[in-house]
Every structure is written in C-alpha cells, then in structure tokens.
Amino acid sequence: MQSNTEDLSALNHTYYQVEQYRDLDRQIKALTAQKEAIGKELKCGFFLHHTDFIFEGRLIATYRPSITIRFNQARFKADMLELFESYQEAVEEKRFLLK
C-alpha cells in the first residue's frame, strides 16, 4: 500500500505533466498559426506569379498545382445509403481531453 506522501507525489507529477501538455499545446497552436500566416503571405506574394523559388542557384521551394483523388463520402451516402450503412462499423476508442 502506498503512503499519502507517495500518492501526493504522483498527483503532483501528473498535474505537472498535464500543465506541461497544455503549455506545449498552446505553443503548437501559436506556431501553427504563424506558419499558416507566413505560408499565406508567400502564396499571395512571391508564389502568386512564380512556381519555383531558386536562391543562389538552389531550388528552395515550389508551389505547383497537384491533383488528388478523394472519396466523396457525403455523395456516396446520399446516392447509396443502404450500401453505405452496410459497410459502417462501430469502433471503440479512448479520448484524452483536458478540461
């Protein structure tokens, strides 16, 4: 059996980890926002009229069209509801949420 001191120590450690997690999450969100803003500025600036950025003879970045094929789940569901439902399956997951 653990003593109250050990329990308190474990709780303090867990609290510290949760706060560290929150802080890292805030930092990631701030950095992601900065990254997106710079990306938007590049795309609306230099890459508005260029597809390649070459600096000192080295290709640094490109901004070119690409084609991606995606499955349109909403349209499939609307057109083939019975088939769509026959392929659905329930999946149990654990979610980690901070309150």
What is the pLDDT at residue 4?
74
Stretch 75-81: mean pLDDT = 97
What is the pLDDT at residue 39?
97
Q: What element of type H or E holds 8?
A: helix 4-44
Q: Please give the angle made by the CA atoms of 60, 61 and 67, to the nearest 5 degrees.
A: 150
- Model pTM above 0.85: no
Report the mean per-residue pLDDT for the chain. Answer: 95
Q: Which residue has the higher pLDDT, 6 or 54?
A: 54
pLDDT in tens, 4-37: 777 989 999 999 999 999 999 999 999 999 999 9
